[in-house]
Amino acid sequence: MRITFAEPALPKKGTLVLFSADGPALSAIARAVDKDLGGAIKRAIAASRFKGGKGQILAVSAPAKSALDRILVAGVGKPGDVTPLAMEALGGKIYAALAKTGGKDIHIALDPAKAIKLPGAEMAAHIAYGIRLKSYRFDKYRTKEKPEDRPSIAKVSIGVKGAAAARKAYGILDKIADGVFWTRDFVSEPANILYPESYANQLKTLSKLGVKVELLDEPRMKKLGMGALLGVAQGSIRKPYLVVMQWNGAPGSKEKPVAFIGKGVTFDTGGISLKPATGMEDMKFDMGGSGAVVGLMKALAGRKAKVNAIGVVGLVENMPGGNAQRPGDVVTTMSGQTVEVINTDAEGRLVLADALWYTQDRFKPKFMINLATLTGAIIVSLAREYAGLFSNNDDLSKKLTSAGEAEGEKLWRMPMGETYDKQLKSDIADMKNVGTRDGGSITAAQFLQRFVNDVPWAHLDIAGTAWTKTELDTVPKGATGFGVRLLNRLVADNYEGK
């Protein structure tokens, strides 16, 4: 699908998308088109419940005398409702309404009212961004799909005053979408295709964008003392990797780099602490945290972000093989701290423990943010509306929360404290890898905090947000790419050029 921008001009055929404010109050172009069509749009509105409200969509049959195939009227609501995020959602709804109608060419005629504060070019760019985000499909394994089940849209053209400015704004958003789609691709891949080595090899392609990519294999990690990460991997025939990505977008900067760390368990059976069979197929997305990190690195490099950023992902497969880690085993982490493994299904925190220590020890970053589909407990706490935020730093937490609100990837800060930390006390080692069932997502965060020293740090538990089984405004069913937009916004708003 190709998205283009041009100065206002109405099409002679295809599908036309017009706009209405709350009331309804048709835009100037929509009123002119309606006049040419003999009032067909107003008659359709009168016969419906369409009021031009935020996100409302009305399909209008094109009169016989018109060469247009169909007309769609999209509601923007009140002037205060017109925000970048709302326009992205509207773009997603426009795409969803037209994707399988059979129409190939879509023309969007945008002429915002003077009361709307968001510039028309910016509105256009964000509508286009929402269309692209919603258009994602993971269909590489569908060999017998009927043509009528596939999207038909080949081109979307947006007519707006200031088309050059819209094109420029969308160019940046398009690179972020590339990162989101990369994340969705990785999270969607089945585990027989995406495993630590194949995943690591695909990340090498980031070098084409200027990212320095380094692969640490099992012997290297053994030498570094990463006993926690390697303990998780030892039951699988798939060898583990730690992948380090460096984007130096501000080569002259004296600022410390920002660092992002991701859990990359390409499949999680639970190990010897085996998960129930029902739903285990979903555990292919237990590498969603790493997916967000690599998608972010692609987005930063793609848009040439003026920041020095580090991405580190620990890639393992957790299997119940003959050499698998057992409950009761004690492992020594890279930090030198020992862990009694009570539950082999609490493996993500073991992977992150060594990845976090390695990152802070080698790069001395300004902050570290790790992402992981870490606990089912966070879904019990927050459902799938928010990701859990745990942090040792108020300023970083506020910036993350603000970025999440701006991008629609919402975070809710959870408590931490000494009382929770006491649950990790072990009788034979420095700590256990789990506490009780109570506060399970919190004790997981307490475990991770033991490997960050005094570096400002945040842990995002995205177990409930990395995958969706329902259609969202700009996200189809499946992998969401959660975290890429959020972290890109964090960097763009606070750390570029600093």
Active site residues: 275, 349
Q: How far apart are CA 121 and CA 486, in angstroms?
A: 23
Under DSSP, the state recorded for 457 is E
Residue count (the chain): 498
Vertex 83: Cα angle to 80 and 88 (nearest 5):
140
Q: How far apart are CA 206 and CA 296, in angstroms?
A: 11
Cβ-based neighbours of 87, under 8 Å, separated by 6 or more: 76, 118, 123, 126, 127, 130
Secondary structure element (H or E) that encloses residue 415, with its range: none
Count of other CB atoms within 10 angstroms of residue 219: 9
**In this structure, what token pair is assigned to residue 148?**
């009528």
Contact 243, 200 (CB under 8 A): yes
Q: How far apart are CA 294 and CA 243, in angstroms?
A: 10
**In this structure, what token pair is assigned to residue 160?**
């707006």
Q: Give me the amino acid identity at 460.
A: L
Tokens 């492992």 belong to which residue?
331
Q: In terms of Cα–Cα distance, which of 29, 16, 298, 4 is closest to 128?
A: 4
Secondary structure element (H or E) that encloses residue 158, with its range: strand 155-159
Q: In terms of Cα–Cα distance, which of 492, 406, 484 is closest to 176?
A: 484
| 387-391 and 308-318 beta bridge pairing | unpaired
- Report CA-CA distances (Å) from 126 to 36, 96, 167, 183: 29, 16, 11, 20
Radius of gyration of the chain, Cα coordinates, nearest whole angstrom: 25
Contact 38, 49 (CB under 8 A): no
Cβ-based neighbours of 376, under 8 Å, separated by 6 or more: 440, 463
Secondary structure (3-state) at 203:
helix
